[in-house]
Each structure stands twice: as structure tokens, then as C-alpha cells.
Structure 1
Amino acid sequence: MKNIKLFSLVMALVLVLAACGSNNNSAGGNNGGDSEGGGDNGGDTYKVGVDTTYPPFEFQEGGDYKGIDIDLINAIAEDQGFNIELKPMDFGGIIPAIQADQLDVAIAGMSITDDRKKKVDFSDPYFDAGLTLVVSKDNNDITKPEDLKGKVVAVKNGTTGADKAQELKDEVGIKEIRQFNDSPSMFQEVSNGNADVLIEDYPVIAYAIKSKDLGLKTVGDRLNGDQYGIAVKKGENQELLKMINEGLQNLRDNGKYDEIINTYLEGE
């Protein structure tokens, strides 16, 4: 009887020690177990802000996040040995979230501007974009900024398109600027005839028009020469920024960057 009790006591002790060992292993390191993409590279995990209403750069399909930005940040993370946790949110809230330490990184088709550089640090540019005017297919009256006089213009809140509309409002006499939190709502406003024109990044609207029957068309020349960058908190994440730039350059050198771009934008 004593032997049975002793055996039971020993087995209980073994189980307790095994459980303790398991807990120690799971607590060690930052493995990003609940991160979307990025896998487990054995390094730190960074929270990445994205706007998933922005194809071809970021969108959701079948429960998965896809797009140029998603593939690119995953590839950079793999190249540099860190993990990511995607945090989808409205574009207008991304920079404030970085400033509030709710995000470590942002990749959201974000144009590098002087105003934004006062708030965040940008990586090297990773995409050359540009704004364009977009009207309904049967609209032949608007082909240039001067044609916006007395018109209703739709824009996405917090974007360079919104900034451009404000700039043009006094210059050409825009009647009204309507702001939206996502691109599909902005597209619909023009398709329905509730707004005369919208201002959007050319690659975004070109992909949308090619992929779906939106009843829209681009007109005129590009309104500017935007470049997109990856953002981190200003003055506080230089080591992370260095990894992002090194990873981006490695992807350019080994052909992975072109492979990602050509997946979504043929001929770009």
C-alpha cells in the first residue's frame, strides 16, 4: 500500500514539473502566435496598421488579407527575421495610432508628404503613384482640374486626394467636397450621380475599374507624383526602420519586389 502511495506521489510530481516546463517554454520570446501573416520568424512581433479597403494594396478576400502592401510587409518581415500582427483600421486613424503607441508600423498606400513627415518617419519609397480625376463613364464634361468649377467632389478622408481637393477648392471654385471613410463608398457616390467627380490614387482606381464594373473612368493627366512609404513612430524606431529599408532593398535586388507588384498591377 505504501509503495502504491509512493508511486502515485512520484507520478504527480512528474506531471507538475512537466507542466511547469511547458509554461516556461510558451512564455519565452515573442512568437506572434495570433498574428495575421508573417509566420514565426523567431524575432520580435510588430503591430502593423493597414487599411483593407484599398485594393490593390490592401483588401480582404475569403477571410484572408491580400494586396501589394500585405505581401510586401510579409516578405520584408521574413527577410529580416521578425513577425507582424496586422491591425486593420480606417486610414485616418493610422497615424494617430502610431503616435499613441498602438501601432509599430503602418503600410497603407500612404503618400510621403511634408506634413506627415512631421508626425512619423518614413521608409525609402516603395511605390510611385499619383492622383487622378475619376468620373462616370458617360461624363465628357470633366477632363482637367479647371473643369471642377461648381462641381461636387468626392474624396477619402485623410488622404492626399482630400488634400488636393481642398487645394483646388479655392483655385477653381469647387462647389462642395464630400469625404468618405472608405474607397467603395466614394466610388458609389460618383456612380450614383450624387457627386460629379472623385480624386483617387491612379493605381487604386485603375485596379478597381479593371476588376469590377464600376461605371467609372479616369480622365486627364496625373495631378501629382506621389510616392508611398512605410511609416514608424517619429524618432523612436530607427532600428525597425533600418530593417524595413534593408528588407525592401533585398526584395528589389532578388526580384521578389517585382514579383509582388506584377501579381496585382500588370505592366507596372
Structure 2
Amino acid sequence: MRIMKYSLYPFIALLLAGGLTACNKDTSSTQNSDASTNTQAKVMNIGSDMTFPPFEYIENNQPSGFDIDLMNGILQQSSASANFIDTRFSNLIPGLEGKKFDAVISGMYITAERLKKVDMVPYFKSTESVTVLSNSNYKPKVRDDLCGKTIATQKGSLYPDQLNQISQESCLAKGKAAITVREFDTSPQAVQAVLAKAADAQYDDSSVARNTVKKLNGKVEITSTEPFFPFIGGIAVRKGDTVTYNLINDGLQKLKQSGEYDTLIQKYDLQAPTDEEIKIFMDQAKS
């Protein structure tokens, strides 16, 4: 997540601008390299959807946010550097598999399905929240409150599947109306749907939702009280790429030991999982 000061409409225009791209360093020569080449060259191509504050976003034409600061810190531990490449979320894992990226950091949940395709280094924990217009009479708190409503969320994430699961288990199974799920390429576009009253609410990561409330100066608010689907997020590397995995994992552990990791967690209002939480979560995801 970091606080950028601008009014409602410039904020939306900035985040929704189609030209959002990371300022990549020499992408023409490095973008299609594989991990081993980039490790040797001390430059690694990192995929990220930079429309997801506070994790990653563009500020002053530069990649910014928790994930950006964290990955820069991780790579500095081995004298490497990052070439961040802005890509929509649904294309991140395919891009990693296709060797467009050496790693992906983008507020990505660790799931059993993703672990079949990539390896992931755990680094934060969170859950989901529901955001609505502050002046709306609709104030959803728990799953059942979403029934019969139109909920905006991000395409390519786990959120559409989660909402459909809620719709089946908490709505249809109880004789209530289904949730209408509207998917958007980015989180800011989903926010815009709520602002335009094209959706009743937005379903998103809790840290992202808190950031949205701050940026929009109270135009929207979080009303949900249920944690929904708690998770741990991870940095993705290609399946079996132990060189890159170890480089990132070792760098992360060094940041934790130095206290820099905790400083970033506090700066961006995020949550750090304990070693025990990571072990339990990863064992479950791999089983």
C-alpha cells in the first residue's frame, strides 16, 4: 500500500489510465531473459500489476509500494536489481511460465492451484473486505448480506471464485437471490463501478480496501465485519527454479533479521505472518 495526495477524480484518472506502465530499465535487452541469465547479470525481470495500492502502483512515473520496496530490498542482499514490468494480474503467472518474468510480486495469494504451476515464497497475510459508498443505505457486514447484490471485483484474482462460492453456499443454498459478480481488469476499475453506482459494493483485499478509503477521502467505507477467506501471499517463481527461489527467500530472511521487513510492514499498514502460520498454511496448500 503510502499516501498520495490528490482529489477523487485525479485519483481515479491516474489509476484507470490505460497508459499505466512501470519505468523499466533496459527492457529491450532483458525482458525475455531467463532467471539464470538475469541472476548472473544482476538484473531480474519482476512482473507486477501496478494498479493495486498499497502493494504496487505508479507514482511520479515510478513503480512504488510495499512490494516494490520489498523486492528492491530483497535483491540488494545479493547485489542484484529489479526491472519491474507492469502487467495485468491475469497475465502474471502465464508471463512467468513463458519466461517474460523471472519472478512475480503482486499481492498474490498462495493457493494449492497456483502451487501446481509455480513455487511461492510467503511474505504477508491478509483477508478480504467489502467497500460501499459512504452515503449508501446498503451496509453489508457478513456473507449473507451480499445476496442479491451486484459486487465488483478484480478479474484474474481469486475474488470472483470466492464470491461465487459465497453465492452458492450462503445465498442459493438458503433460497436467497444469487450474487451478481462483475469483474474488472483492475481494482481501481472496480472502485469506479461503485462510485458510478454500477455496482453495490466492491470485494477486495482488506489492505487495498483500507488504502482506497484513505485515497478517496471517505467517499467509500468498509462495512464488512467477516474475515471471509484469510490467506498468506507469496512471491512467485517458476516451478523448480531453485536458484531464483533461494535468492529471494534468503534475501527476505535477511530483511527480517535486520528489521527492514517489519519497518515496511508498518509503513504500509500490512500484516506479517508468523513462522507457525506460514508452516500451517503451506502444509494445507500443498496437501
Note if contact 1:50-1:106 (Cα within 8 Å) is conserved in structure 2. Answer: yes
Aligned length: 232
Tell me what 2:130 maps to: 133
Match 2:233 to one of 208, 228, 233: 228
Note if contact 1:43-1:83 (Cα within 8 Å) is conserved in structure 2. Answer: no
CA distance in 1, matches of 2:107, 2:124: 8
CA distance in 1, matches of 2:59, 2:25: 22
Tell me what 1:78 maps to: 76
The C-alpha deviation readout for 1:36-59, integer Å capped at 9, x for no partner, is 9xxxx9843221001110000101
The C-alpha deviation readout for 1:210-268, integer Å capped at 9, x for no partner, is 12236211122211211110001112x11110111111011011011122222222898
Q: How far apart are residue 83 of structure 1 and its match? A: 2.2
Task: Report the RMSD for the aligned CA atoms in angstroms.
Answer: 2.3
CA distance in 2, matches of 1:151, 1:128: 28
Change (3 A) 1:33 1:61: closer
Note if contact 2:102-2:238 (Cα within 8 Å) is conserved in structure 1. Answer: yes
Tell me what 1:51 maps to: 49
CA distance in 2, matches of 1:102, 1:267: 30
Tell me what 1:196 maps to: 200
Tell me what 2:245 maps to: 241
Tell me what 2:277 maps to: none
Tell me what 1:262 maps to: 266
Change (3 A) 1:133 1:100: same
The C-alpha deviation readout for 1:129-164, integer Å capped at 9, x for no partner, is 111122221234421110122111111011122221
In percent, how many aligned pairs have the same letter?
Answer: 31
CA distance in 2, matches of 1:42, 1:92: 29
TM-score, normalised via structure 1 length: 0.80
Amino acid at match of 2:156: G
Which 5+ residue runs of structure 1 have no aligned equivalent?
1-31
Partner secondary structure for residue 77 of structure 2: helix
Match 2:191 to one of 187, 193, 201: 187
TM-score, normalised via structure 2 length: 0.75
Amino acid at match of 1:97: G
Note if contact 1:155-1:165 (Cα within 8 Å) is conserved in structure 2. Answer: no
CA distance in 1, matches of 2:238, 2:47: 12
The C-alpha deviation readout for 1:46-76, integer Å capped at 9, x for no partner, is 2100111000010111111110000000000
CA distance in 2, matches of 1:42, 1:94: 23
Q: How does 1:1-268 map to 2 (within 5 A)?
A: 34=26, 43-123=41-121, 125-137=122-134, 138-171=136-169, 172-173=171-172, 174-213=178-217, 215-218=219-222, 219-235=224-240, 237-265=241-269
CA distance in 2, matches of 1:92, 1:181: 8
CA distance in 2, matches of 1:34, 1:99: 21
Which 5+ residue runs of structure 2 have no aligned equivalent?
1-23, 31-38, 173-177, 273-287
Change (3 A) 1:42 1:104: closer
CA distance in 1, matches of 2:221, 2:123: 26
